[in-house]
Structure 1
Amino acid sequence: MRLESVVPLIPAELVAALDHSCGIRTDTDLLFFGSSLDIIKKLPLGTVTLSDLEKFTELVAEQASVPGHRGDEILAGSRRISEKHSQASCGVKELDDLVGGFGDSRVFEISGAKGSGKTALALQIVIQGLLADADSCALWIDTSGDFSAEKTAQLVRHFDLAVSDKLLERLQVSLGFNIEAVHDVLDALRNSLSSSRTVGPAVQWIVIDSITPLLLPSLSAVSSQGHAMMTTFMRRLRELAQTFGITIMVINGTSAAAPFNQSSAFASTNRKPALGPSFTFMTDCTLWLSKTKDMPDSEGPFSVHVAEVFRSRATRSRIWCTFQIRHGVLSSTIPDL
C-alpha cells in the first residue's frame, strides 16, 4: 500500500519527507525500516515528533491489516461477480473447463518455461473477453518491453476483422519496469475506477507480463522484507479484483525443481513456478503450461502444449488438458494426436 493513499490520515508533508529522506514509499517500507527513532534521525529537524511518528505508524499498520468479512457477504458478492463474468472464456473449451472459466474476479497465476504459451494464453483471454463485452477494456502491464502491438493486431483480426481497430482502442498498455512503477499504474487505475466522473468502458481485465522481475530481486533467504513486499502487492491485486470485479492474470517464470515437481501429475516436470512456494497461495489458481512438441502441417506448423492445474479454489488440482498453438492462436488439439 502506497503511503500516499493514506493521506490525510497522515500528513502529506510527512509522506513527502519520508520518501525524500528515507526512501519510504509504502507501508512495507515504513513497518520494516527499523525503529521510529531510526527514521527520525534521517528526517529534517522538526518534521515530526517521535510520539506522532509512532502514532502515524500505528495508523498505517491498522490500514494495512486484513479486514474481516462475513461469510454471507462473500457468498453474495461471489454470486454477483460470477453472473457478471459468466461468459469469460479463452476460446478453448478444455482450458475453460480446467479452471472453471477465466472470470469470477479471480487472480490467476500462469507459469511455465519460455515458449510454453503463457503470453499467448493471457492475450487470447483478454481478446475473447473484449469481444464478448463491448463495454469493457483491459490493462496490460508490460514489465520487459516485449509487448508487440503488431502481433496483437494480427491476433485480433484473426478473431474478428470487422472490429479489430475498435477493439484495440480498449486495450491499454502500460510499461512498468519496477514494482514502484506498477504501484503507480495501479494507483491511477484505482482512482479512475473510484471516480464518479469516469465514463466509457471500465477495466475488466489486467495482465502483468511478467511479475517475476518485479518481485524476485527483493526476495532473500535472510530477510523477510521482500516477502512482505510480495504479500502486500498480491493482497492489493486481490482487493482490486474483488472490489471492482476485475479478472487479473500474473505471468510468472520458473525455477528448478529437483528431482521433479511434486505438484505436477507428470514425473518429467523438473521446473516449478518462481517466487517461492508461498506465492502459489497468494492467487486463486496456478496454471502450469508446457510445450511438448512441434508438428508440421499443410496449413502451417503448430505446437502441442499441456496445461495443468497445480492449485485452484474452483477446480481440482493435478488435472490437465492439451491444446495447440498455430500462428499465435490457441485451439483444441486434434483428436488423433
Structure 2
Amino acid sequence: MRLDSLVPSIPAELVVALNNSCGIRTDTDILFFGSSLDIIKKLPLGTVTLSDLEKFTQLIAERVSAPGHRGDEILAEISGQNERHSQVSCGVRELDDLVGGFGGSRVIEISGEKGSGKTALALQTVIQRLVADVNSSALWIDTSGDFSAEKTVQLVRHFDVAMSENVLERLQVSLCFNIEAVRDILESLRISLSSLRNVGPTVRCIVIDSVTPLLLPSLSAVSSQGHAMMSTFMRQLRELAQTFGLTIIVINGTSAAAPFNPSSAFESTIRKPALGPSFTFMTDCTLWLRKTQDVLDSEGEFPVHIAEVFRSRTTRSKTWCTFKISRDILSPT
C-alpha cells in the first residue's frame, strides 16, 4: 500500500518528507525500515514529533493487517454451518452423519466404481431437497447422456406422489459434453442468481454427473496446462457455492491404486478417485462408494453398499457405513 493513499489520515507533508529523505513510499518500507528514531533522524527538523511518528506507524500497521477473529466466534459459526448442513438429508441417516448432511455452501465429491450407487445417491439427495423445500430448484448437468427421466419420476413419486409434478418442474437437466459448455451454463446461473429480479424457486443444488470426462482428457504427465484448467474450474465451483449458498455435488470416476488405496479403511480397496491426488483437496468432502455382496432378507435379495469418507473438512476421515439400494432407492441396511 502506498502511503499517499492514506492521506489525510497521515499528513501529506509527512508522506512527501518520508519519500524525499528516507525513500519510504509504501507500508512495507516504513514498517521494515527500522525504529521510529532511525526514521526521524533522517527527516528535516520539525517535520514530525517522535510520538506522532509512532502513532502514524501504528495506524499504517493496523490498516494493512488482516482483521482478527475470536476463536469462540469462529467455533460458533462452524457449529451453525454444520447444523445447516445436517438439515439436508439424502434419506439415509447413517450417510447423512458421515458427511454432516448434504447441505451448506460446499463442493462434495462422490466417487466409486460403476454400479456403486453414485448417481442414485446424488439423485435421491436432490429429490429429497426439492420435496423438503418448495422454494428451491436444482440443476443437473449430464455429461454422458445417461440421465434417466423415467427413474427420476419413479423416485419422486416414491417420496411424495402429491408433489411429483411440482418437484419435476424444479429439476433442470442440461446435457453438456465439454468443459466450455458447462462453464457457459454456470456463468448464466451466476448472472441469474445475481439479478435482483430473480423470482420463483432458486437453484440451491447443482450436480455434475460426471466431472471426469470434462477434465480427464486435458490432464497430462508432461504438461501442467490440464492441471491448471482443473484447478481454475474447481475454484470457480467453490466461489459459486460460497457466494450463493449452493451445494455442488461432483461425481467422479476411478483409477487404479496398487496395491491398495491408503485413504481407505479397507485394504481390499484397490481403486481411488480419478483426476489425480490433488483433486481431492479441491473439494470439501470426498465420499467413496462401493458395492459388496448381495444379501437375502424377507423382501428378497439386495446388494449391500459401503460409503466411506476419504477426506472431509467437517467430519472424520476413514469412517464408513452400509446401505442398500433396492429399485434405485437408497435405504438403511
TM-score range relative to shorter protein: 0.7 to 0.9
Q: In the alignment, what sits opposite 1:199?
A: 199
Which AA in structure 1 matches 2:179?
I
In 1, distance between residues paired with 2:314 and 2:325? 26
Determine whether 1:165 maps to 2:165: yes
Q: Deviations for 1:272-305, whole angstroms, at most 9, x for unmatched residues?
A: 0000000000000000000002234553532100
Q: Secondary structure at the match of 1:229?
A: helix
Contact 1:255 1:271 in 2 (8 A): yes
Q: Deviations for 1:107-140, whole angstroms, at most 9, x for unmatched residues?
A: 0000000000000000011011111111000000
In 1, distance between residues paired with 2:190 and 2:79? 23
Cα 1:79/1:319, change in 2 over 3 Å = closer
In 2, distance between residues paired with 1:71 and 1:77? 15
Q: In the alignment, what sits opposite 2:226?
A: 226
Which AA in structure 1 matches 2:150?
E
Which AA in structure 2 matches 1:205?
C
Equivalent residues, number:
266
Q: Cα distance, 1:176 vs. partner? A: 1.0
Contact 2:85 2:100 in 1 (8 A): no
Q: Secondary structure at the match of 1:150?
A: helix
In 2, distance between residues paired with 1:190 and 1:246? 11
In 1, distance between residues paired with 2:100 and 2:262? 23
The 5 A counterparts of 1:102-141 are: 102-141=102-141
Q: Cα distance, 1:78 vs. partner? A: 5.6
Determine whether 1:269 maps to 2:233: no
Q: Deviations for 1:128-172, whole angstroms, at most 9, x for unmatched residues?
A: 111111100000000000001111000010111111111000000
Q: In the alignment, what sits opposite 2:301?
A: 301
Q: In the alignment, what sits opposite 2:174?
A: 174
In 2, distance between residues paired with 1:133 and 1:92? 18
Q: Secondary structure at the match of 2:141?
A: strand
The 5 A counterparts of 1:60-71 are: none
In 2, distance between residues paired with 1:237 and 1:208? 11
Determine whether 1:326 maps to 2:326: yes
Q: Cα distance, 1:173 vs. partner? A: 0.3
In 2, distance between residues paired with 1:297 and 1:228? 50
- Between Structure 1 and Structure 2, whose CA radius of gyration is higher? 2
Contact 1:263 1:318 in 2 (8 A): yes
In 1, distance between residues paired with 2:81 and 2:204? 11
Q: Deviations for 1:169-195, whole angstroms, at most 9, x for unmatched residues?
A: 000000110000000110110011011
Which segments of 5 or more consecutive residues in structure 1 lack a partner in the other structure? 1-67
Q: Secondary structure at the match of 1:90?
A: coil
Cα 1:292/1:245, change in 2 over 3 Å = same
Cα 1:181/1:102, change in 2 over 3 Å = same
Cα 1:86/1:71, change in 2 over 3 Å = farther
Q: In the alignment, what sits opposite 1:91?
A: 91
Contact 2:82 2:100 in 1 (8 A): no
Cα 1:315/1:148, change in 2 over 3 Å = same
Q: Secondary structure at the match of 2:240?
A: helix
Q: In the alignment, what sits opposite 2:250?
A: 250
In 2, distance between residues paired with 1:121 and 1:70? 40
Which AA in structure 2 matches 1:305?
H
The 5 A counterparts of 1:235-246 are: 235-246=235-246
Which AA in structure 2 matches 1:276?
G
Cα 1:72/1:146, change in 2 over 3 Å = farther
Q: In the alignment, what sits opposite 1:260?
A: 260
What is the alpha-carbon root mean square deviation over aligned residues? 2.0
In 2, distance between residues paired with 1:253 and 1:163? 33
Which AA in structure 2 matches 1:263?
S
In 2, distance between residues paired with 1:307 and 1:85? 18
Cα 1:154/1:315, change in 2 over 3 Å = same
Which segments of 5 or more consecutive residues in structure 2 lack a partner in the other structure? 1-64
In 1, distance between residues paired with 2:111 and 2:67? 32
Cα 1:300/1:89, change in 2 over 3 Å = same
In 2, distance between residues paired with 1:324 and 1:161? 22
Normalising by structure 1, report the TM-score: 0.75
Q: Secondary structure at the match of 2:162?
A: helix
Q: Cα distance, 1:80 vs. partner? A: 6.6
Contact 1:300 1:326 in 2 (8 A): no
Contact 2:308 2:320 in 1 (8 A): yes
Contact 1:81 1:245 in 2 (8 A): no
Cα 1:109/1:219, change in 2 over 3 Å = same
